[in-house]
Structure 1
Amino acid sequence: MLKRTRQESFSDKLYKFRGVILVVSVPLLLTSFVLLFMPRSSSDDGIISMEAGNRRASSNDPRSSPSPHGSKSYAAIFDAGSSGSRVHVYCFDENLNLVPIGKELELFVQKKPGLSSYAHNPHLAADSLQSLLDQAESVVPQELRHKTPVRVGATAGLRALEGDTSDRVLQAVRDFLEDKSSLKSKPDWVTVLDGTQEGAFQWVTINYLLGNLGKKYSNTVGVVDLGGGSVQMAYAISQKDAAKAPQILKGEGTYVKELFLKGTKYYLYVHSYLHYGLLAARAEILKAVEGSGNPCILNGYHGLYKYGGTAYEAFTSPSGSNLGNCREAAIKALKANESTCTHMKCTFGGVWNGGGGDGQKNLFVASFFFDRASEAGFVDPNLPVAKVRPVDFKDAAKRACETSLEDAKSTYPHVEEENLPYLCMDLVYQFTLLVDGFALDPWQEITLVKKVKYGNALVEAAWPLGSAIEVASSST
């Protein structure tokens, strides 16, 4: 006789396998919850986070198939530097690849002087950006202008102004953008960049253009960016070295920024040296020499050098301009022999140097380094990059220091007249900064960079691209 078996109901089966169901479902529910509320990207104090997620396309392949018009996004970034104002406009596809604006991969326009030159007339400072704004708006499709962010990042020129002067200039710029711009502006998008932000943005810019983001830190390059008022060094270090980082002396903050880029976490050593940009260093070197004349000024010049609202008398010493004596003045200005850092390796002024390592082995040196090298004749100004050694600046300085102002006019035709008396000083300082300041071997190969090849195009190696990547990734 067959025994009848009881047919289990659906609820009985659920009860019977309740343990298995619980084990499987709880992690799934938690994962779904995290994915639902996890932000696409984040930004904190200028630290960039690019979500890897669906951005599978290579960041260095602008030749991928064109995106539909609606998937493009634009960003306009003003670089308000001490020597002038510049605007960069970039266009990104949905994978944060750069795509062309017309025939170029960016709009780049500049003008002089910088905002700090209008310190006593903030409204005039703001109005000086009008022509740059007009050109920026002209390349953004009209239907996208209202959601295209416009940022203004002021650098060392405004950082050096006294009192509330920089605040009044920035507020005038905010009001100007609110009244005159069709682009999307926010009050906190007009600011004086912290020097470490500037350095971090520059590091992101160059490594993005080289296609290094997403690779391990040892495959990235380090950056030295010499501006007018400050100089920044930035390079990726190991997590172990990051844990050893001291606190910054005489101030708050840290030497290490954490960045999450293309699915990879980086520990970025970055430091900004205010008063040690090329134009600011001239003032420091003039102050460093007591008595009559300065050995860094070309023979035949006698005038005033104005920086940061102060005028310094500038004329050559009785014995004329001289490489050796100028080196002594530059070392004194750098305070390279007065380090207060005794427990670890330092650069000048008692600043921790980050410990070195693989992230610093390939060094890209930008801005005034490239400009002076090309003007002095040992770098082709028509090339975007050049391999040089610090000693090349010393050799060029020797030639410049032995040249009178009158002869220099024909010997160095590409140097602007206002910079010519300081050519010996500038080249000596750049060599001293690299060797005595940053402790580079004089014969170490470094890369001078003005533009970086990206696909088949060239893009300016400047910090605004890093800022544009941040604002674009946080708004997509």
Structure 2
Amino acid sequence: MKLPKLAFIFLLLGCVVVYLTYVKRRFDSRASPLSKQHLQYTTKVDQHKRPTSAEVISDNFQYGIMFDAGSTGTRIHVFQFQMEPNEAPKLAHETFKAIKPGLSAYADDPDKCKAGLLQLLEVAKEVVPAGLWASTPLALRATAGLRLLPGEKASHLLDKVKAVFGESPFRNGPESVSIMDGTDEGVSAWITVNFLLGGLHGSETPTVGMLDLGGGSTQITFSPQDEKTIQTSPIDYVTSFRMFNTSHSLYSHSYLGLGLMSARLAVLGGIEGQPASNQELVSPCLAPDHASEWEHAEVVYKLKGQKAGEPIYDSCLSKVEKMIYKRVRKAEEVKDMEFYAFSYYYDRAVDLGLIDEKTGGSIKVSNYIEGAKTACKNMEAGAGDNPFLCLDLTYISVLLQELGFPQDKEFKLARKINDVETSWALGATFYYMESLRAH
């Protein structure tokens, strides 16, 4: 039976419409494979802008969560990395939050630290897509505050952290929670700096050395170019690791007791960890008419300047040189390498007015020397608001020379590189993620 011509035309048009609808649906489903499991955030150039769900979305992102448990507070860093095959990751975004006090404040009642940890974990839950929680590594690294606690108290605190982490939805295990030693801190900071500068991305960019001057310890870390440095250094000064499919050998050492506050106490004549009683510490590094109290590591010291004699700088220099004598090892090749310096190196350069507090800059060893001479001279005239500036600058200038840096050596000083904080947290996150892959 023949169909009317008009009916045939309608039938043909219907088939075309059905076919086009089918093709469109197939195309849409392939172009937008969004599911809750793959929903991730991406960011634009501003790394401090909080990503929103409207800023869509790619499969090649990974997250890492690092808790920095310091002496004065606990900080969370949630890093978002863009991952590409056979390439080093790129940092797409960092979320940061800090709370006080530090974990060590709960040494006598570890249960009380739980509330703060849970508060910071909520930050991670808001940032990391729920479908990726189970695969996102979570770690806590403690520094000076827990290092100084008696072993049993520190262990109880860490056990509490492990219990809280164990109840979280993020990936964690036996190595997730630990106390960093000084060398780990130095290596992690070196990784951070060189990652941000592009030296770990498989390019021809050379790596830079790292100097950090904290309150209780100071670190030097660099990648030796001269085999003699590795051969002649003590075995515990050299460490090797693999990062982004490349092996690295580093010279890294932390000098405990030579951080600026500990060194200041030693030069003044005090002894770390011992009660000050009522004894006055009399020092030529202070103004002759100076009298004050100074608190360090929860001990209050009475300080007094020495009566005027020879110039303050010369007297103070002699004291500093005696204190540091044979406590620091020289590394010959550092004089020819580029170095970045952080923490109190940075702060005292700001005090001298030689760098901008926000943007940083460059400084030479000779600048610290001349700054020390000026600060000490000003104290003789009773000028200056900082009674320790003469001592601190004298110590920094001697320390750098003892480490092997000549007076004309220039350092770069920075708190941020490419708008990212130069802390050890980023490097420690990479280091932990690499160890998980290795296992």
The TM-score normalised by the length of structure 1 is 0.67
1:365 is paired with a residue of what secondary structure?
A: strand
Shift of 1:389: 0.6
| Aligned with residue 325 of structure 1, among 315, 323, 327 | 315
Would you say the 8 A contact 1:214–1:263 is kept in 2? no
Q: Where does residue 21 of structure 1 map in the other structure?
A: none
| Aligned with residue 64 of structure 2, among 75, 82, 97 | 75
Q: Distance in 1 between matches of 2:367 and 2:135?
A: 47
Q: Where does residue 98 of structure 1 map in the other structure?
A: 90
Report the structure number with the largest CA radius of gyration: 2
Would you say the 8 A contact 1:370–1:449 is kept in 2? yes
1:164 is paired with a residue of what secondary structure?
A: helix
- 1:403 to 1:209, Cα distance in 2 relative to 1, 3 A: same
Q: Distance in 2 between matches of 1:114 and 1:282?
A: 24
For residues 278-335 of structure 1, what are the alpha-carbon distances to aligned partners after superposition, in whole Å with 9 as ceiling and x for unaligned?
233233223369975223346644114221x54433343344993333333322332x
Q: Distance in 1 between matches of 2:269 and 2:304?
A: 12
For residues 57-116 of structure 1, what are the alpha-carbon distances to aligned partners after superposition, in whole Å with 9 as ceiling and x for unaligned?
xxxxx9xxx994443111122222345433322111223433433xxxx22344555434
Would you say the 8 A contact 1:285–1:330 is kept in 2? yes
2:406 is paired with a residue of what secondary structure?
A: coil
Q: Distance in 2 between matches of 1:331 and 1:126?
A: 46
Within a 5 Å distance, the mapping from 1:116-127 to structure 2 comes to: 116-124=104-112, 127=115
- 1:442 to 1:242, Cα distance in 2 relative to 1, 3 A: closer
Shift of 1:160: 3.1
Amino acid at match of 2:313: L
Q: Distance in 1 between matches of 2:222 and 2:387?
A: 34
Q: Distance in 2 between matches of 1:472 and 1:206?
A: 17
- 1:146 to 1:215, Cα distance in 2 relative to 1, 3 A: closer
| Aligned with residue 390 of structure 2, among 412, 424, 429 | 424
Would you say the 8 A contact 1:157–1:228 is kept in 2? no
Shift of 1:139: 2.7
| Aligned with residue 193 of structure 2, among 197, 206, 213 | 206
Q: Distance in 2 between matches of 1:117 and 1:301?
A: 31
| Aligned with residue 274 of structure 1, among 246, 256, 267 | 256
1:244 is paired with a residue of what secondary structure?
A: helix
Q: Where does residue 344 of structure 2 map in the other structure?
A: 368
Shift of 1:224: 0.9
For residues 116-152 of structure 1, what are the alpha-carbon distances to aligned partners after superposition, in whole Å with 9 as ceiling and x for unaligned?
4554444445655555444444333333334322222
Q: Where does residue 57 of structure 1 map in the other structure?
A: none
5+ long unaligned stretches in structure 2? 1-46, 48-54, 272-278
For residues 352-373 of structure 1, what are the alpha-carbon distances to aligned partners after superposition, in whole Å with 9 as ceiling and x for unaligned?
x455268x61011112211232
Within a 5 Å distance, the mapping from 1:41-190 to structure 2 comes to: 68-95=57-84, 96-101=88-93, 106-111=94-99, 113-124=101-112, 127=115, 129=117, 131-179=119-167, 181-190=168-177
Would you say the 8 A contact 1:237–1:354 is kept in 2? no
Q: Where does residue 386 of structure 1 map in the other structure?
A: 361
Q: Where does residue 294 of structure 1 map in the other structure?
A: 283
Would you say the 8 A contact 2:291–2:302 is kept in 1? no
Shift of 1:467: 1.3
2:203 corresponds to 1:222: no
Q: Distance in 2 between matches of 1:116 and 1:318?
A: 40
- 1:123 to 1:231, Cα distance in 2 relative to 1, 3 A: farther
Q: Distance in 1 between matches of 2:114 and 2:373?
A: 42
5+ long unaligned stretches in structure 1? 1-61, 249-253, 340-347, 410-419
Amino acid at match of 2:62: S
Q: Where does residue 8 of structure 2 map in the other structure?
A: none
Q: Where does residue 303 of structure 1 map in the other structure?
A: 293
Amino acid at match of 1:459: V
Query: Identity of counterpart residues, as a percentage?
Result: 31
1:265 is paired with a residue of what secondary structure?
A: strand
Shift of 1:207: 1.1
Q: Where does residue 463 of structure 1 map in the other structure?
A: 424
2:305 corresponds to 1:316: yes
The TM-score normalised by the length of structure 2 is 0.72
Q: Distance in 1 between matches of 2:165 and 2:388?
A: 37
Q: Distance in 2 between matches of 1:67 and 1:98?
A: 17
Shift of 1:433: 1.5
| Aligned with residue 356 of structure 1, among 324, 328, 333 | 333
- 1:258 to 1:110, Cα distance in 2 relative to 1, 3 A: same
Q: Distance in 2 between matches of 1:134 and 1:328?
A: 53
Would you say the 8 A contact 2:183–2:219 is kept in 1? yes
Would you say the 8 A contact 1:156–1:230 is kept in 2? no
1:220 is paired with a residue of what secondary structure?
A: coil
Within a 5 Å distance, the mapping from 1:22-37 to structure 2 comes to: none
Give RMSD over aligned pairs: 3.5
Would you say the 8 A contact 2:199–2:205 is kept in 1? no
Q: Distance in 2 between matches of 1:99 and 1:442?
A: 36
2:239 is paired with a residue of what secondary structure?
A: strand
Amino acid at match of 2:424: W
Bigger relative contact order, structure 1 or 2, given CA contacts below 8 A and separation 6+?
A: 1
For residues 154-173 of structure 1, what are the alpha-carbon distances to aligned partners after superposition, in whole Å with 9 as ceiling and x for unaligned?
22333233443322332233
Would you say the 8 A contact 2:241–2:247 is kept in 1? yes
Amino acid at match of 1:87: I
